[in-house]
């Protein structure tokens, strides 16, 4: 089976988190547009057969990090998971999917 290496997975999450903290005060619409470009690139690179767990886990961890960063924009916890779901309805994030089937 082909899966994302743990070392690369952690390194990519760390890089993404640093990037999010550097761009935390960008307008939400522009921020989500940039995040979608980064997520789509990740999903296209790692979206091969048998790696669906890896790319779904990456997407979930990024969503958690986005919520954490958006909560740091103010001096109070202003965003809950319900509020984040409403935000995602307005600015949807790219869904993880398999792009390459290596067996067919």
pLDDT in tens, 4-56: 999 999 999 999 999 999 999 999 999 999 999 999 999 999 999 899 999 99
Give the separation between CA 90 and CA 97, rounded to whole angstroms.
21
Question: Which domain covers residue 27, as residue numbers?
Answer: 6-90
pTM recorded for the entire structure:
0.91
Residue 74 lies in a domain: yes
Residue 98 lies in a domain: no
Structural domains counted in the chain: 1
Residue 29 lies in a domain: yes
Residue 15 lies in a domain: yes
Tokens 């067919």 locate to 104
Residue 19 lies in a domain: yes
């Amino acid at each position: 089976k082909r899966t994302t290496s743990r070392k690369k997975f952690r390194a990519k999450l760390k890089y993404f988190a640093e990037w999010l903290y550097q761009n935390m005060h960008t307008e939400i619409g522009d921020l989500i547009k940039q995040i979608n470009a980064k997520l789509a690139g990740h999903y296209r690179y790692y979206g091969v057969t048998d790696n669906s767990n890896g790319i779904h886990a990456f997407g979930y961890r990024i969503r958690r990090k986005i919520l954490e960063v958006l909560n740091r924009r103010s001096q109070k916890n202003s965003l809950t998971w319900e509020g984040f779901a409403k935000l995602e309805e307005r600015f949807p994030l790219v869904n993880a999917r398999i792009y390459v089937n290596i067996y067919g």
